């Protein structure tokens, strides 16, 4: 028998105490691994979602973070609206004139190009109107460009695809302006199929729905992005819903002119009459300017009185820096404390057993074991408990991640593999915690070292 076998036998001779001690260590280590995994998932989820394929979000003046939350994550409330004509200033080339011809209505200097069109060469501008809900999901009114031009995925290189149906059209002969595409989660939750009709409720989840519905013509494949939780309707149809018409405003005071928020007369659902430009507003514009124009454009827009330009990546990086990463450190500190408590429990467990083992230690000494032998045996016992707890905790911590995939993946779009969030901290923290657990054996080992043999026999 070697010293290792003797230590192992001692551990197994007190199975309950050993198991409880190792379990407390395992829980501590599993918590640390989970914290590292969860913070990794949050970070990756935010980063991949912020990798949206556009550089800037234009919206009304207000909280930049709120604009990002609302536009990218479909969270929080929309900020104020901006005029549609302002959106048209960003259309590349002669897009402003073409839009004027397509929609109709009053537009100052209608013959000129958009003010920022020269910065938009090769890029795009996509309008969004938000604020309505379909059941508990956000209703996002936009143009077909949303799915034609934007991409998704970690490298933002995956085009949006449909599990059934197609993208909605600006106008279709079957449904007029009233087509919709829904995210995978919306379709699943609301049991929507191609041909289902969805109704937007104005302003709140519980609000009354508009009488005019949108026919679902496409169901998106799951993307792991907030778009899974969105109901996307044609912006042209959205403008025609009751209450979505912008009123005329007094040029000096900005106050609404009573009775001016009226939609044009329409003969049927398939009528081709659109809401004129001056009656339209947008909540946000997704912008991809040409080349490196985004930085200059952002500064330029932010100097204006009523609009702001926000970089979603910068905002989310800021959010990660201010909240997520510090929170991870706080959680790590807390869970490390749990491990230290576990280490203390190893200390207490072995130390308490010292009293009842004094005689055993004295016998071993009488048989010829040196003080060093005894010290090594006790330290090996704490190493075994800490190591067993550490390994089990590490396995459990990493197993919980993949096991939670059915719940976390739809929400975050991030698949957790066995070692997918093997944080750079883990190779240091886990052995460090096991070392702390082992060192907890030092005090009992010293007590054992000092056991008076003759008195204890």
The one among 363, 396, 409, 411 contacting another protein by CB under 8 A: 363
Considering the complex, what minimum distance in angstroms separates the CB of residue 456 from another protein? 10
Contact string 194-223 vs another protein (x = CB under 8 A): ------------------------------
Query: Which residues, numbered 364-383, are part of the site for another protein (CB under 8 A)?
Result: 364-373
Q: Are 418 and 396 in contact (CB under 8 A)?
A: no
What is the bridge-based pairing of β-strands 214-220 and 179-182? Answer: parallel
User: Does 341 sit near another protein (CB under 8 A)?
Assistant: no
Within 8 A by CB and 6+ apart from 7, the residues are 376, 377, 378, 380, 381, 384
Count of residues that bind another protein according to CB under 8 A? 26
Q: How far from 50 is each of 42, 285, 318, 360, CA to CA, in Å?
A: 12, 15, 12, 63
Residues 6+ apart with CB under 8 A from 88: 95, 96, 99, 100, 107, 114, 277
- Report the SS3 class of residue 220: strand
Q: How many CB atoms lie within 10 A of CB 172?
A: 16
What is the closest distance, in whole angstroms, from the C-beta atom of residue 1 to another protein in the complex?
5
Q: Is residue 409 at the binding interface for another protein, with CB under 8 A as the rule?
A: no
* C-alpha separations of 78 from 134, 157, 203, 301 in Å: 16, 28, 10, 19
* Region near another protein per CB under 8 A, out of 8-16, 83-91, 221-229, 438-446: 8-16
Q: Which of 392, 380, 374, 379 is nearest to 20 (CA)?
A: 392
Q: How far is the CB of 354 from another protein (least distance, A)?
A: 15
Among 360, 396, 410, 422, binds another protein (CB under 8 A): 360
Minimum CB separation from another protein for residue 385, in Å?
A: 16
Question: What would the DSSP string read from start to end of 114-182?
Answer: PTTGGG-TT-EEEEEEEEEEETTEEEEEE-THHHHH-EETTTT-EEP-EEEE----SSBTTTBT-EEEE
Which residues sit opposite 179 in a β-bridge?
215
Q: CB of 340: closest distance to another protein in angstroms?
A: 29
Distance in angstroms (rounded) separating the CA atoms of residues 437 and 425:
18
Distance of closest approach, residue 452 Cβ to another protein, in angstroms: 8
Q: Which is nearer to another protein, 368 or 406 (CB)?
A: 368
2 is a contact residue toward another protein (CB under 8 A): yes
In the complex, minimum distance from the CB of residue 360 to another protein, in angstroms, rounded to a whole number: 6
- Of 6 and 332, CB closest to another protein: 6
- Find the part of the chain contacting another protein (CB under 8 A) among 70-78, 193-201, 314-322, 361-369: 361-369
Closer residue to another protein, CB minimum distance, 174 or 372: 372
With respect to another protein, which residue has the nearer C-beta, 256 or 372?
A: 372
Q: CA-to-CA distance for 15 and 9, rounded, in angstroms?
A: 10
Query: What's the rounded Cα separation, in Å, for the pair 196 and 213?
Result: 10
Coil vs helix vs strand at 380: helix
Binding-site string for another protein from residue 155 to residue 184, where x marks contact by CB under 8 A and - marks none: ------------------------------
Residues 6+ apart with CB under 8 A from 337: none
Measured over the CA atoms of residue 444, residue 449, residue 454 and residue 457, the dihedral's sign is positive
Determine, following the binding rule CB under 8 A, whether residue 355 of this chain makes contact with another protein. no
Residue 454 engages another protein in binding (rule: CB under 8 A): yes
Q: Which is nearer to another protein, 136 or 450 (CB)?
A: 450
Interface region with another protein, contact rule CB under 8 A, candidates 180-188, 267-275, 362-370, 387-395: 362-370
**Alpha-carbon span 226 to 130, nearest angstrom:** 14
The smaller minimum CB distance to another protein, of residues 13 and 418, is found at: 13
C-beta closer to another protein: residue 245 or 364:
364
Instruction: Kindly state the smallest distance separating residue 378's Cβ from another protein, in Å.
Output: 14
Task: Give the interface with another protein as residue ranges (CB under 8 A).
Answer: 1-3, 6, 9-10, 12-13, 359-360, 363-373, 452-455, 457
């Amino acid at each position: 028998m070697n010293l290792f076998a003797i230590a192992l036998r001692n551990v197994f001779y007190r199975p309950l105490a050993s198991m409880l001690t190792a379990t407390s260590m395992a829980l501590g280590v599993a918590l640390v691994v989970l914290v590292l995994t969860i913070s990794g998932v949050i970070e990756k989820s935010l980063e991949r979602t912020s990798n949206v394929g556009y550089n800037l979000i234009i919206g009304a003046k207000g909280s930049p973070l709120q604009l990002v939350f609302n536009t990218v994550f479909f969270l929080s409330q929309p900020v104020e609206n901006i005029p549609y004509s302002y959106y048209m200033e960003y259309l590349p080339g002669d897009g402003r004139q073409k839009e004027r011809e397509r929609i109709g209505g009053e537009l100052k200097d209608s013959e000129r190009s958009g003010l920022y069109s020269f910065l938009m060469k090769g890029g795009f501008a996509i309008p969004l109107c938000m604020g309505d809900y379909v059941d508990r999901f956000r209703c996002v009114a936009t143009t077909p460009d949303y799915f034609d031009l934007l991409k998704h995925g970690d490298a933002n290189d995956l085009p949006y695809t449909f599990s059934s149906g197609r993208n909605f059209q600006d106008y279709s002969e079957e449904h007029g302006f009233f087509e919709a595409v829904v995210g995978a989660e919306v379709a699943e939750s609301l049991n929507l199929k191609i041909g289902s009709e969805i109704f937007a409720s104005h302003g709140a989840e519980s609000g009354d729905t508009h009488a005019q519905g949108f026919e679902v013509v496409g169901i998106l494949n799951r993307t792991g992005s907030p778009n899974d939780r969105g109901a996307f309707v044609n912006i042209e149809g959205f403008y025609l819903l009751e209450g979505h018409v912008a009123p005329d405003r007094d040029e000096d005071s900005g106050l609404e002119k009573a009775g001016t928020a009226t939609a044009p007369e329409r003969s049927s659902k398939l009528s081709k009459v659109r809401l004129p430009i001056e009656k339209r507003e947008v909540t946000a514009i997704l912008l991809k300017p040409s080349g490196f124009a985004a930085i200059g454009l952002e500064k330029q827009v932010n100097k204006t009185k009523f609009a702001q330009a926000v970089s979603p990546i910068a905002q989310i990086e800021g959010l990660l820096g201010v909240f997520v990463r510090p929170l991870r450190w706080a959680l790590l500190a807390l869970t490390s404390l749990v491990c230290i408590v576990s280490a203390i429990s190893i200390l207490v467990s072995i130390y308490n057993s010292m009293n009842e083992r004094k005689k055993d230690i004295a016998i071993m000494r009488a048989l010829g074991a040196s003080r060093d032998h005894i010290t090594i045996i006790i330290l090996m016992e704490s190493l075994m408990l800490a190591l067993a707890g550490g390994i089990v905790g590490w396995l459990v911590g990493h197993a919980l991640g993949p096991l939670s995939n059915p719940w976390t993946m739809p929400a975050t779009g991030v698949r957790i593999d066995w070692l997918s969030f093997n944080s750079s901290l883990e190779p240091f923290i886990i052995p460090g915690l096991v070392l702390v657990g082992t060192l907890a054996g030092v005090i009992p080992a010293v007590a054992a070292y000092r056991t008076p043999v003759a008195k204890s026999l």
